[in-house]
A and B are shown apart, each in its own frame.
Chain A
Amino acid sequence: MGRVALRGIRAHLVRFLLSVLAVALGVAFVAGTFSLRTMLSSTFNSIVETTMLGDAYARGALEDGAEGPSVAEGGDVGGARERIPLTLVEELEAVDGVATVVPDIAGQVVLVGADGTAVINTQAPSFGMAYDPDDPTMVLSDGRAPATAGEVALETVTMESAGLAIGDSTTVIVGGALVPVEVVGEISGSGPLAGATITTFDEQTALEVFAPDGKTATIAVYAEDGVDQAELVDAIESVAAADDAEVLTGDLMREEASASIEEALGFVETFLLVFAAISLFVGAFIIANTFTMSVRQRMRELALLRAVGASPTQVFASVLIQAAVVGVLGSLAGVAGGLGLVSLLRVVFEQMGMDLTGSIPLDGFTVVVSVLIGTVVSVVAAALPARRAALVPPVEAMRDDVADVEHSLRTRAVVGLLLLVLGGATVAFTALAPDSITWVADNAGVMLGVGAGAVVIGMLAIAPVIARTTLRIMAAPFVAGLKPIGTLARGNVTRNPRRTASTAGALMIGMALVGAASVLAASTQASTATIVEDEFTGDLIVQSATYAIPQEAIDTMADVDGVGSADAIAFASVRIAAEGEEPASDYVIGVETVAFDRALNVTVVDGDLASLDSGEAAVKRADAENRDWQVGDELTVSLDGASVTVPIGAIIDTRALGSPVILPMDVYERVVPATASTVDTVIIEAADGVAVADLQADLTETVKPYVILSVMDQEAFASTLADQVDQVLTILYALLGLSIVIAVLGIVNTLALSVIERTREIGLLRAVGLGRLQLAGTVTIESVLTAVFGTVTGVLVGVGLASALPAVYADEGLTALVIPWASLGWMLALAVVVGMLAAVWPAVRAARLPVLEAVSYE
C-alpha cells in the first residue's frame, strides 16, 4: 500500500505541488520565528556577556511588593528596586580582594549627528554614560577620554552612524538641556551592541546629570586575580548590607539579565507564532481540498484496491502516507525558506544600522518542531478525505460513472447556525451588558474571544450551506452580462458548494482579521481625534521623537514672544497605594493645576478640580471604580524612599491623561526627582491677539536645535496619532498578508484541480465551439466569485465582531465606532484582483487542453 501511495504522489506531482507550497509557507513562518528568536537571543545574550563583565554586583533591595527580576529595558536590568548610594563605591574599593568598582551611571541622551538630525537607530536605545577608565567593557581606542562638560567620546558604531569624527563639534541633549560638545575620543565596546547609540561623558558631568541624587541602580565589582565570584560576594556582602544593598555574583546577574531577555523575546515569539498558526490553519484548507479532490478522482482506483483485498485501514493509511509525504516535503522546504527569510531580515536590519551578529542557527529543535508541525497539520487536514476513501465500497470499481455522493449539509447547517447565534449572542451581550453586571466587564476579553471564535467557526461550518444561494446572487451580473460563460461559471462554483466554501474559507479567515483590524484602526483613529478635539484645548502641542522633552526646551518655549502659557505634562513610574492597599507599580502624572483652565478639558465626575490647588490628587474614573477609591480617600505615592500622602480631591473622566493618578506639579515634584520624570507633552496657548500659525512657525524655529521636537496644531497632532495607528496596522497587514497569499494559492489549487477534473467537460465545450478566451473567462469568473465570496463573508464576520469592541472598550479610550467603508471597498476590489490573478495559471492550463484528447480523457 505504501508503494501505491508513493506512486500516486509521483504520478500526480503537480496536483500536490501547491499543497506542498502551502505547507512550506506556513512552516517557513514558524521556522523563521524560531530562528529569529534564537538569533535575537544570541545577539542580546552576547551583549550581556560582553557588557556585564563584573564578578559581583551590588543593587538595591526590591521595593515593597515588587516582583522578582523584571523585564530588561534598554540595558537597565531590574526595574522596581531601590537605588543605592554612590558612597558605597569607595567603601567597596577598600575591601580586600576587590580590584575595581564601576557604578552604573547612565541615562537617556540625544546625540545630534553630522547632518543635524538626532541619531536614532530604529528601536535601539540611545544612552549616555560616565567614561570610567577602570571599566573593562569600554576601551578608549582613539583620541582621549572626555575630561570636561564640553567633551564626549563616542562608541565606534555610534561614531559611524552619526557621521562624526574626533575633533568635530556637535550637540547633545542631556539632562534636559542642549549641550554643545566636542568629540574627543572613540570608545570600542567589547562586543556587539545591536545598534545602540552610546555617548560617554566625563565622570563629573555624568554624575551631575544621571545621578544628581547621589544614587545608582547597580554597582559592578571586579575581583583581584585569584579571588573567585563567591569569595568576592562573601567579602563585600556586609559592607553592602550596611547601605541596604544586596550582592550577587556576576554569573547570577548575567543569568537574570538573560532570563529577562528571554522573557521579552518570548512575547515577540508568541506574537509571531499566532500569525504563523493562522497561516498554517489556512494552509490546512488547501491540503484538505487537495486530498478531497484527489480521493474523489481516484474513487475507482481506490475501490479497485478494496476489491482486490485492501482493508479500509490500508486505504486510509495510504492516503495519510501521501499527506505525510506532502507535509514532510513542504516542511523541509519551509525550514529552508524560514532560514532564508531570517537571513534576509538580518540584512535589512543591517541596512538600518542594527547589527544582529547572532548566528542564524539551524538547530535541531527548529527543524524537528517545524517538520513535525507541518506534517501533523497536513495529516490532520487529510484525515477526513482519507476516511472517505477508506469507506469506498468495492462495488464502485465496477460502476461506470462515479456517483458524486453529496452528503447532506444539514448537520453543518445546524451546528454552524448554532455556533453563529451563540457566538454572536455572547459578543453582543458583552458589548451591550449594563455596567452593573461586573463579571461581564471583568471577563470581557475572554467572552469576546470565545464569542468571536464561535462566530468564525460557525461561519466556516455554514459557508457551504449559504454558498449556493449567495454565489447565485453574486453571479447574477455575470450570467446576465456574459451569456454562456457566466452561466457556466455559476454552475461550476455552485456544483460543489463544500469545495467552493472551503476554498473561500481560507480567504475568509485572513479577510476577517484584516476587516477587524481595519475597523479597530479606524475606530481608534476617530477616538483619538475626538480626544484631541475635546480634551486638548490648547493651541499647539509639542511632542518629542524620543518621547521626552528636555526641560530646557520647555523653558525656552515659555519665553518665546506670543506664548501665553506652556503647560508641561510630566509622568513617572511610581508606587501607589490607598489606605490598606499593597503598593502597586503605576504611573503618576504631574501637571500645573492652571493647565485645567487653559490647556486641558476633563470632565469632573465627583469632587472638585479646585481641590488640586490645595495639593489634593485627581484620579481617573475607571481606576477609581476598579480600586474602589472615593473622594477623600488618602493615596500614598512613593518612589525611591520619598513619598507623599494626598487625599483624592476629584474623580475625573479623561482620555488624554493616561495614568490613574494626577498630581499638582508641586506635589509631584516632592516625590519624583527630575531624573525620574519625563515630560512627553507640552501644551501651548497663544497669547491674546497672536495668530496660532505665526506662533507655530516661531516655536518650530525655536526648538529646531532640539532636533527631536515637533510643534503641532490640533489637526497635525491628531494625524500624528493616526499615523502611529497606521504603522501598527501596516505591520498587522504584513503579518496577515501571508495567510492571504496562502489562501490565494488555495484558489489557484482548487481551480487547477477542478480543471483537471473537468477535462472532458472542457473538451466537450471546446468541441461545440467555446473559444479559448471564453474558456479562460469562465475560469476567471469562477475564481473571482470564489474570492469575493470568501472576502464578503470574512469582512462581514470581521467587521461584525470588531463593531462590538468600542462598546466594550470605551473606558480604555475606544469611544467611536467607525466602519472604514472605503477600506472595505478596497478589500473587495482586492478580492476581484486576487481572483483574477489566481485564475491565470488554471485558465491558461484549461485553454491549452487539446480538444480531442480532452474529450477522450478518462
Chain B
Amino acid sequence: MRALAADLTGAGHIASARGLVKVYGKGETAVRALDGVDVDFARGELTAIMGPSGSGKSTLMHCMAGLDTPTSGTVLVGGEDVGRMNQRALTKLRRTRLGFVFQAFNLIPTLTAEENITLPLDIARASVDREWFDLVVDAVGLRDRLDHRPNELSGGQQQRVACARALVSRPAVVFADEPTGNLDSRSSGEVLGFLRRSVDDLAQSVVMVTHDPTAASYAHRVLFLADGRLVGELEAPTPETVLEALRAYSPAGRPAGQHAAQVRA
C-alpha cells in the first residue's frame, strides 16, 4: 500500500482527474457525490475502484467517461480535456476514444452479437479492423455466438459481448461500472479474466467498479473511495489484502463490502 500518489500534471496517464467535484441538487438537499477527487489511471493497467454504496464510484465513472458533467475540476482522457467539450465532441469522444460497460442492459436487443460489437464503428462510419475484431472475439470466446441475438445469450455471454464492444474501437480507456454485478461467480470469472487479458495481451487500459474483493483481485491496482473522496489504494491486490483494506477504510470498521451487499446502489 502506498500513499495517494498522483503526480500533479497527470502526464503519462491514460485518464486523470484533478479537483473533481460533483454536486447533485441544490441548497438543503445538495449531495456532494464527488468531493475533490484527484486520480490518475495508468496506461496498460486494469484499475479497480471500490467503496461503499453511495460513495461516488458510478459518478466518478460517468464524469470520467463524459456521460456526466462535473460541477468543478478537470477531466483528461487520452490528453483531451473532457470538461471543455460540447455535446457533439463528447458524443464523438465516446464512440472513438472510450469504451463503456454497464452493470446490465448493455446490448441492443434487435442487433446480433456481432452487430452489437461493431456498433461504435458503424456509428462512426469507420471500417472494422478485422484482425483486431478477430483478436477481441477470440479473447472473449464468442466466435460461435456472433449470429445470436442478446436474448439467446446467457448473462455472462452478454457481458462479454459488451466488453468486446467496448474494446472494438481500440479506445484509450474502457470504463466498466460493476460489469459482473449481475453475474454468478463462474460467469464473473470469465468476464474478469477477459478484462485482465485485454490489458495484458491486447495492451488496453481498463477501469472498473466492483464490490467484490475477488473481482478486485484481478486488477493491477485498487482505489478506495468513501464519501466522494479517494481514501487509499492497493497495488497487486489479492482477495485477502482487499478485504483487509476495506475494513480499514470503512467508517465504523465495518466491512464495506458487506455494507454494499446489503444496500446495492
Interface residues of A (CB under 8 A from B): 483-484, 487-488, 490-492, 494-495, 760-761, 764-772, 774, 851-852, 855
With A768-B94, A768-B95, A769-B91 known as contacts, the answer to whether A491 contacts B123 (CB < 8 A) is no
Least Cβ–Cβ distance between B168 and chain A, in angstroms: 10
- Please report the C-alpha to C-alpha distance between residue A483 and residue B94 in the assembled complex, in whole angstroms: 18
Least Cβ–Cβ distance between B133 and chain A, in angstroms: 16
Asked if A769 contacts B62 (CB within 8 A), the reply is: no
Counting CB contacts under 8 A, is B6 at the interface?
A: no
- Please report the C-alpha to C-alpha distance between residue A770 and residue B105 in the assembled complex, in whole angstroms: 16
- Please report the C-alpha to C-alpha distance between residue A766 and residue B91 in the assembled complex, in whole angstroms: 7
- Please report the C-alpha to C-alpha distance between residue A404 and residue B71 in the assembled complex, in whole angstroms: 40
Selected from A488, A764, A766, A772, the residue in CB contact (under 8 A) with B102 is A764
Residue of A nearest to B166 (CB): A768
Asked if B110 contacts A484 (CB within 8 A), the reply is: no
What is the size category of the interface that chain B forms with chain A? Answer: 20 to 34
Selected from A488, A766, A770, A771, the residue in CB contact (under 8 A) with B111 is A488
Counting CB contacts under 8 A, is B124 at the interface?
A: yes
In residues 100-142 of chain B, which contact A (Cβ within 8 Å)? 100, 102, 105-111, 115, 119-120, 122-125
Asked if B110 contacts A483 (CB within 8 A), the reply is: no
Given contacts A494-B110, A495-B109, A765-B108, 16 further A-B contacts (CB under 8 A): A483-B122, A484-B123, A487-B111, A487-B115, A490-B110, A491-B111, A761-B105, A766-B94, A767-B67, A767-B94, A767-B100, A768-B119, A768-B123, A769-B124, A772-B87, A852-B62
With A491-B110, A764-B106, A852-B62 known as contacts, the answer to whether A769 contacts B120 (CB < 8 A) is yes
Most buried by B among A761, A768, A851: A768
Chain B contacts for A494, CB-based, 8 A: 110
Most buried by B among A488, A765, A769: A769
Chain A contacts for B65, CB-based, 8 A: 767
Asked if B119 contacts A484 (CB within 8 A), the reply is: yes
Least Cβ–Cβ distance between A857 and chain B, in angstroms: 10
Most buried by A among B105, B107, B123: B123
Chain B contacts for A769, CB-based, 8 A: 91-96, 120, 123-124
- Please report the C-alpha to C-alpha distance between residue A484 and residue B117 in the assembled complex, in whole angstroms: 12
Residue of A nearest to B110 (CB): A491
Selected from B88, B102, B119, the residue in CB contact (under 8 A) with A771 is B88
Asked if A770 contacts B91 (CB within 8 A), the reply is: yes
Counting CB contacts under 8 A, is B240 at the interface?
A: no
Chain A contacts for B120, CB-based, 8 A: 768-769
Most buried by A among B105, B108, B109, B111: B108
Most buried by B among A492, A494, A760, A855: A855
- Please report the C-alpha to C-alpha distance between residue A488 and residue B94 in the assembled complex, in whole angstroms: 19
Counting CB contacts under 8 A, is B201 at the interface?
A: no
Counting CB contacts under 8 A, is B170 at the interface?
A: no
Most buried by B among A484, A487, A851: A484
Counting CB contacts under 8 A, is B165 at the interface?
A: yes
Least Cβ–Cβ distance between B57 and chain A, in angstroms: 14
Selected from B62, B105, B110, the residue in CB contact (under 8 A) with A760 is B105
- Please report the C-alpha to C-alpha distance between residue A765 and residue B106 in the assembled complex, in whole angstroms: 9
Between-chain CB contacts (< 8 Å), 7 pairs: A484-B123, A487-B122, A491-B108, A764-B102, A769-B93, A769-B123, A774-B123
Q: In the complex, how many residue pairs between chain A and chain B have their CB atoms under 8 Å apart? A: 71
Asked if B105 contacts A771 (CB within 8 A), the reply is: no
Least Cβ–Cβ distance between A500 and chain B, in angstroms: 12
With A487-B115, A769-B124, A770-B123 known as contacts, the answer to whether A492 contacts B110 (CB < 8 A) is yes
- Please report the C-alpha to C-alpha distance between residue A491 and residue B119 in the assembled complex, in whole angstroms: 13
Chain B contacts for A772, CB-based, 8 A: 87, 91
Asked if A771 contacts B91 (CB within 8 A), the reply is: yes
Q: Which 10 A-B pairs have the closest CB atoms?
A: A769-B95, A491-B110, A484-B122, A769-B94, A483-B122, A484-B123, A771-B91, A768-B120, A852-B67, A495-B110
Chain B contacts for A484, CB-based, 8 A: 119, 122-123
Chain A contacts for B96, CB-based, 8 A: 769
Residue of B nearest to A486 (CB): B122
Asked if A764 contacts B105 (CB within 8 A), the reply is: yes
- Please report the C-alpha to C-alpha distance between residue A328 and residue B58 in the assembled complex, in whole angstroms: 46
Counting CB contacts under 8 A, is B68 at the interface?
A: yes
Least Cβ–Cβ distance between B24 and chain A, in angstroms: 11
Residue of A nearest to B95 (CB): A769
In residues 130-167 of chain B, which contact A (Cβ within 8 Å)? 165
Chain B contacts for A771, CB-based, 8 A: 88, 91-92, 123
Chain B contacts for A774, CB-based, 8 A: 123
Least Cβ–Cβ distance between B264 and chain A, in angstroms: 13
Chain B contacts for A768, CB-based, 8 A: 94-95, 100, 119-120, 123, 165
The 8 A CB mask of B65-90 against A (1 = contact, 0 = none) is: 10110000000000000000001100
Chain B contacts for A764, CB-based, 8 A: 102, 105-108
Chain B contacts for A490, CB-based, 8 A: 110
Most buried by A among B88, B106, B119, B124: B119
Least Cβ–Cβ distance between B222 and chain A, in angstroms: 25
Asked if B91 contacts A852 (CB within 8 A), the reply is: no
Residue of B nearest to A760 (CB): B105
Chain B contacts for A767, CB-based, 8 A: 65, 67, 94, 100, 102
- Please report the C-alpha to C-alpha distance between residue A494 and residue B149 in the assembled complex, in whole angstroms: 14
- Please report the C-alpha to C-alpha distance between residue A463 and residue B42 in the assembled complex, in whole angstroms: 56
Least Cβ–Cβ distance between B102 and chain A, in angstroms: 6
Residue of A nearest to B126 (CB): A483
- Please report the C-alpha to C-alpha distance between residue A851 and residue B91 in the assembled complex, in whole angstroms: 10
Asked if A488 contacts B91 (CB within 8 A), the reply is: no
Residue of A nearest to B94 (CB): A769
Selected from B68, B122, B123, the residue in CB contact (under 8 A) with A852 is B68
Least Cβ–Cβ distance between A660 and chain B, in angstroms: 64
Asked if A761 contacts B91 (CB within 8 A), the reply is: no
Chain A contacts for B108, CB-based, 8 A: 488, 491, 761, 764-765
Residue of A nearest to B87 (CB): A772
- Please report the C-alpha to C-alpha distance between residue A761 and residue B150 in the assembled complex, in whole angstroms: 13
Chain B contacts for A483, CB-based, 8 A: 122, 125
- Please report the C-alpha to C-alpha distance between residue A215 and residue B158 in the assembled complex, in whole angstroms: 95
- Please report the C-alpha to C-alpha distance between residue A337 and residue B67 in the assembled complex, in whole angstroms: 46
Chain A contacts for B87, CB-based, 8 A: 772
- Please report the C-alpha to C-alpha distance between residue A760 and residue B105 in the assembled complex, in whole angstroms: 8
- Please report the C-alpha to C-alpha distance between residue A487 and residue B123 in the assembled complex, in whole angstroms: 11
